[in-house]
Amino acid sequence: MKAPQAKKIQKILETNGDQRIDDYFWMNERENPEVISYLEEENKYCDFVMKDTEKFQQELFEEMKARYKQDDESLPYFFNEYWYIVRYESGKEHPLFTRKITTLENPEELLLDVNLLSEGHDFFEVGSVAISPNNKLMTYSSDNIGRRVYTINFKDLETGEILQDQIPNTTGKAIWANDNEHVFYIRKDDSLRAFQVFMHQLGTDSSLDVLVFHEEDETFDVNVFKTKSLEYIFIASSSSISDEHRFIPANDVLAPWKIIQEREDDLEYAVEHYQDEFYIITNADEATNFKIVKTKVDNPGIENWEEVIPHREETLLEGFEIFNDYFVIEERTDGLLQIKIIENESGNSHYLDFSDPTYTAYIGLNLEFNTEKLRFGYTSLTKPNSTLEYDMKDKTTKILKEQEVLGGKFSTDNYISERIWADSRDGETQIPISLVYHKNTKKSAETPLLLYGYGSYGHTVDASFSNVRLSILDRGLFTPLRTSEVENI
């Protein structure tokens, strides 16, 4: 059987005076019978080429599937009087969203059973769930096509009734104002770009929703979020090289939107709120690896930004978390993520200690200001994903939840991970490589290798655990050899 050949139809695309020729532009016509026919031919050819591996494919599939726990549940998280849990039941494909008031010993309240919602659909996915500040209402978004275009629905949690309010063609995200009556959401354009923010009033038809912001620049996407303090609602408009944030008090949906700092080429920034100040991570003033500044809420412009954490040539700042007594920074040095704890009163700082040569560590969900406990995530090529709690005062760590690996006796001691370095093409930069293999696998030029790398947009591929990868490692394959882009080459 010969490989199918797609026909070429020249299409000239022009943007800002620059021309690009795409011979296969015609294939974006999803409903075109000719496109569908060609894709079917591709699938047939793939089946033909892989025919002699069908038995092995099925063996691998069953083995990998057996490694997943079917009745797993998320780590409970307490917020606004309730413990929230997402769980799965054995034999069912979709999650159940639940909560318990005050303590985990109280009866479970079922918020949403996605298995029931998915009945009659070939594809069904819930994008997000959002609870109103008074805990009486809920939004949930769903996609039954698979294009990440979600419809937002509303549910009365006191009666269990699904309300008539329905908002189509959204990103799926809904942000409640503090009045429990209005939500903000984002619509997508024909290219699936998030470009408009609307405000919906409960009990009204979505055709009456108010357009709050329209991003006309096609190189920008929009996002909407509420600050950790729950006091402000933000609209973030972002491109690859520029950001612009505007905000209103979450208590006043009719307030005029104020801009932190108008967009400028090569000026990136992100904002969080604490007391009477905004904390901002930014690359302003040639801070290529970013720095952290703060400014008063009443005068947030760049001319009032006061440096909190300075720029460092050797370290990339990726994020931060604010607590009453601590400031936590997520940073990257030599390609590895680190978590730094700073005591606000004394200024003393220390790093969390991670023993693996290559790993992923990240700040988790931390919604409370007045706490000494930091939730963070950790995983490596040989250690399953874990959620941990670090006591920033006592400097002690405990595991709250660890990914369970089924399908045979798993031991991290059976696998070896390394971090090695390779020269870049110009010979001036060292590229970090994370490597994992079974302890019985001999390293040689003949050893099979699965290589994966990615280097666009400043994105780094961090080393993480995969239970399905074990089926490959146990068969003597080096995998994955992950190349991480060194920032700012």
Question: CA 293, 295, 299, 303 torsion: positive or negative?
Answer: negative
Q: Mean of the per-residue pLDDT values for the chain? A: 92
- pLDDT(244) > 50: yes
What percent of the chain shows pLDDT beyond 90? 81
**pLDDT of amino acid 483:** 41
Q: Looking at residues 146-155, what average pLDDT do you find?
A: 94
Choose among 185, 181, 179: nearest CA to 163. Answer: 181
Q: Looking at residues 229-238, what average pLDDT do you find?
A: 97
- pLDDT(55) > 90: yes
**pLDDT of amino acid 328:** 97
Reported as a single tens digit per residue, the pLDDT across 20-34 is 999 999 999 989 999
Instruction: Read off the pLDDT band of 449 (50, 70, 90).
Output: confident
**pLDDT of amino acid 484:** 41
What percent of the chain shows pLDDT beyond 70? 97
**pLDDT of amino acid 478:** 58
Please, is 46 exposed, middle or buried when counting C-beta atoms within 10 Å of its C-beta (0-12, 13-18, 19+)? Answer: exposed
So where are the chain's domains?
A: 1-47, 412-484
Reported as a single tens digit per residue, the pLDDT across 373-396 is 999 999 999 999 999 999 999 999
Q: Which residues of 420-439 are buried (b: 16+ CB within 10 A; e: fewer)?
A: eeeeeeeeeeebbbbbbbbe
**pLDDT of amino acid 69:** 83
| Helix (H), strand (E) at residue 60 | helix 54-65
Rounded to whole angstroms, how far apart are CA atoms 200 and 107? Answer: 33
- pLDDT(270) > 80: yes
**pLDDT of amino acid 95:** 94
Choose among 171, 206, 207: nearest CA to 192. Answer: 171
- pLDDT(489) > 90: no
- pLDDT(219) > 80: yes
Instruction: Read off the pLDDT band of 288 (50, 70, 90).
Output: very high
Reported as a single tens digit per residue, the pLDDT across 291-336 is 999 999 999 999 999 999 999 999 999 999 999 999 999 999 988 9
**pLDDT of amino acid 488:** 29
Instruction: Read off the pLDDT band of 147 (50, 70, 90).
Output: confident
Give the dihedral of Cα atoms 332, 337, 339, 342; nearest 10 deg: -10
Reported as a single tens digit per residue, the pLDDT across 154-197 is 999 999 999 999 999 999 999 999 999 999 999 999 889 999 99
Residues 6+ apart with CB under 8 A from 176: 130, 131, 132, 133, 137, 139, 182, 183, 226
Reported as a single tens digit per residue, the pLDDT across 96-120 is 999 999 999 999 999 999 999 999 9
Rounded to whole angstroms, how far apart are CA atoms 39 and 256? Answer: 50
- pLDDT(83) > 90: yes
Lowest-pLDDT range, 6-20, 128-142, 199-213, 315-329? 6-20
| Helix (H), strand (E) at residue 36 | helix 33-49
Question: CA 173, 283, 352, 371 torsion: positive or negative?
Answer: negative
**pLDDT of amino acid 482:** 41
